[in-house]
Amino acid sequence: MNERRARELVARERARVESMLGELGGEIRAEGSLQRQQTGDYGDVGSTLDTESVAIAFEVDLRAQLAAVGRAEERIARGTYGRSVESGLPIPDQRLEAEPLAERTVEEQRHLERRGPN
């Protein structure tokens, strides 16, 4: 994949993630304001906590995606974008088009996911 296309794909991912983080931050602030205005009905406390937990988990995931964007930008700058961080093997352009932040070949990613967190 040429550098121009790589930069375009990664920039689009950065914009997408940053936009979602911005929207999520606004939603969390708005929900917090609404909760402070509530009359003290404890019936919805569980659902409020569930909603907050989901929002926090989503934010953690988006921040992880943003870190992956940064790593992809570093690989572009070093000239290693499109190569596996694990083996150095080329990552097919079709995979990068579908998953611009891919750091490994499909086979390596599957192996990593099967192994699970260490």
The pTM of the full predicted model, rounded to 2 decimals, is: 0.76
Q: Residue 90: count other Cβ atoms within 10 Å of its Cβ.
A: 13
Predicted confidence (pLDDT) per residue in 22-62, tens digit? 988 765 555 554 444 455 555 554 555 566 777 788 899 99
CATH class given for the domain over 3-115: mainly alpha
Task: Find the length of the chain.
Answer: 118
Residue 73 makes CB contacts below 8 A (sequence gap 6+) with 10, 14
